[in-house]
Amino acid sequence: MREIIRSGQPGRCALVLCCGLSVAIGLATSVFAQQPAAAESGGAAAAKDSAKPPAVIAADDPKPADAKPVDASKPAAEVPEVAAPQPVKGKSANSKKVRQSKDPLGGGMPSVTGIDDKPYIIGPEDVLFLNVLHQPDVTGSLAVRPDGFISVRFAGEIKAAGLTTQQLSDEVADKLTKYFNHPEVNIQVVRIVSKKYYVSGEIKKPGAYTLSTPKTIFEALIEAGGPAEFAKKKAIYVLRGKQKIPFNFADVSKGKNLQQNIRIENGDVIVVP
């Protein structure tokens, strides 16, 4: 520069200075023009990110933090299923197992009466109905005699006491084969008379009673009118062969000690002192 000035060329020096100044101003202007644009673009990007819905942001996450990886190669049938929650078993009367006593006279277990046994055993004075298919002359009601026999037309005298209805039907059919081809016989018990029990002592209606249906001691006493006015209600007992079974009528009538209210059997004698 000094050489240009010294050489006496001031016009060329001024031209160089003007060119350099113009370049500097142009660079500065471009720098300042780019800074606001960058700021605006950054602000728009930030606003765009902030305006993004939370659901979309959560969906962008490929895997939740607590999710367990699933093996895609494993067959669908082998993937274990989540078991449904089972209800908690509480203590209830229905969940308890009922223990039945082996003693027929204890634990509230009814003793055998003999009338509800299957099959039923026919006894004296029972009333039967004999039905022979296509033979109305033979069909009809029959009463078992005190000696245990019945009289059937064409078949004669047949002992029925001690047999079941099926056994007696076979016996009658065998007798009727002499007169009919393959007779079909059916016998039913229409009235039970052979099973009885007895009530004696301080009772309003003592006597013999038919045990046609299962019956308890308390029911038998009520059917007999109940204990008399001066009866010892707490000292009642049942004679069953050589066995003496105590019964407290006062307790049972109040709903106490119900295990003693057993079923009576054929031939029982209820004594009310």
Residue range 191-206, pLDDT digits in tens: 999 999 999 999 999 9
DSSP-based three-state secondary structure for 72? coil
Q: Rounded distance, CA 31 to CA 120, Å?
A: 120
Contacts of 37-41 with C-beta under 8 Å, sequence gap 24+, read none
Minimal CA–CA distance to 173: which of 121, 132, 113? Answer: 132
Kindly write down the DSSP assignment for every residue of 157-214, as one continuous string: EEE-TT-BHHHHHHHHHHHHTTTSSS--EEEEEEE--S-EEEEEESBSS-EEEE--S-
The SS3 assignment for 227 reads: strand
104-109, long-range: CB < 8 A, 24+ apart: 104/262, 105/245, 105/262, 106/259, 107/259, 108/258, 108/259, 109/262
- CA pair distance 123, 16, nearest whole angstrom: 151
The per-residue pLDDT for range 88-110, each reduced to its tens digit, is 444 444 444 434 434 333 333 33
CA distances (Å), origin 99, targets 93, 181, 262: 13, 54, 17
CB atoms within 10 A of CB 215: 20
Task: Classify strands 185-191 and 156-159 as parallel, antiparallel or unpaired.
Answer: unpaired
Q: How far is CA 129 from the centre of its chain?
A: 41
Q: Residue 113 and residue 121: Cα distance in Å, rounded? A: 12
- The H or E element that residue 45 is part of is helix 10-50
Percent of the chain predicted with pLDDT > 70? 57
Q: In the chain, how long is the greatest CA-to-CA distance?
A: 176
Q: CA distances (Å), 131 to each of 34, 168, 178, 192, 258, in order?
A: 121, 12, 17, 18, 44
Instruction: Give first-to-last CA distance, the chain, whole Å.
Output: 157
pLDDT score recorded for residue 165:
94
Q: Using a pLDDT cut of 90, give the percent of the chain over it.
A: 55
Instruction: Give the per-residue pLDDT at 117.
Output: 54
Residue appearing with tokens 């000292």: 235
Q: Are strands 149-152 and 156-159 parallel, antiparallel or unpaired?
A: antiparallel
3-class secondary-structure state, position 246: strand
Q: What is the pLDDT of residues 175-187, one digit of tens each?
A: 999 999 999 999 9
pLDDT (tens digit per residue) in 17-62: 656 666 666 665 555 555 544 444 444 444 445 445 444 444 444 4
Q: Give bridge partners of residue 201 from the DSSP assignment.
A: 272
State whether residue 29 is helix, strand or coil.
helix
Q: What pTM does this model have?
A: 0.52
